[in-house]
Amino acid sequence: MDFDMVSAIPMLERTPAVLGTLLGGLPDRWTQLDEGDGTWSVREVLAHLIHGENADWIPRVRHLMEWGERKPFPPFDRTFGFAERREQPVEELVEEFARLRRESLASLAALHLTSNDLAREGSHPEFGRVTLAQHLATWVAHDLTHLSQIVRILGVQYREAVGPWAAYLRVVRPVPS
């Protein structure tokens, strides 16, 4: 499926609400642990999503519109804020993400991007030439990746509890490397 704004925006709009519905009021036990060594906790994923709104998605749209391929995007720190966010209530992190997402989408709308803009190219610090449409499609797929990750983090908490059913339930299995 090709990227278009009409499909992308409704998905970007709903991610905070989906996270709120999934995590709001959930007993703390569910969100205390991660998936094992070297994996992220729910709070860390939320910190990463928050930092994406602040430093990646709209900032890189603006960077690409201003610089095109002449200047690569500044690198993005994937684990920014992890230490600080570790004690914050999950609901608070979701609310902060929701507020920032609303602002991001307002900024996106205000840019009135045309299909010509979507075809414009920028330079990624690691893999070079990328289009604005690819960047925006990645924003959506990135939401879904981390939503799926949070669901997995919840699921693995029952890894032992399901007994022999573990063989059938992909979500309780260890993360593939």
174: left (phi over 0), alpha (psi -120 to 50) or beta: beta
CB proximity list for 89: less than 8 A, separation 6 or greater: none
Instruction: Quote the longest CA-to-CA distance of the chain.
Output: 56
Task: Find the part of the chain contacting a second copy (CB under 8 A) among 56-64, 67-75, 84-92, 145-153.
Answer: 145-153
CA–CA separation, 86 vs 84, rounded Å?
A: 6
Q: To the nearest whole angstrom, how small is the minimum distance from the Cβ of residue 51 to a second copy? A: 15
Asked if 130 interacts with a second copy (CB under 8 A), we say yes
Quote the tokens at residue 157: 């908490």
How crowded is residue 18: how many other Cβ atoms within 10 Å of its Cβ? Answer: 16
- In the list 54, 88, 107, 157, the residue contacting a second copy (rule: CB under 8 A) is 157
Asked if 142 interacts with a second copy (CB under 8 A), we say yes
Which CB atom, from 10 or from 68, has the smaller least distance to a second copy? 10
Which CB atom, from 7 or from 83, has the smaller least distance to a second copy? 7
Nearest partner of 124 among 60, 57, 52, judged by Cα: 60
Which CB atom, from 67 or from 165, has the smaller least distance to a second copy? 165
Q: To the nearest whole angstrom, how small is the minimum distance from the Cβ of residue 29 to a second copy? A: 5
The whole-angstrom distance between residue 149's C-alpha and the CA centroid of its chain comes to 10
3-state secondary structure of 134: helix
CA–CA separation, 93 vs 16, rounded Å?
A: 10
- In the list 64, 161, 174, 177, the residue contacting a second copy (rule: CB under 8 A) is 161
Asked if 37 interacts with a second copy (CB under 8 A), we say no
Q: Give contact residues for a second copy (rule: CB under 8 A).
A: 1-3, 6-7, 10-11, 14, 17-18, 21-22, 25-27, 29-30, 33, 124, 127-128, 130-131, 133-134, 137-138, 140-142, 144-145, 147-149, 151-152, 154-155, 157-158, 160-165, 167, 169-172, 176
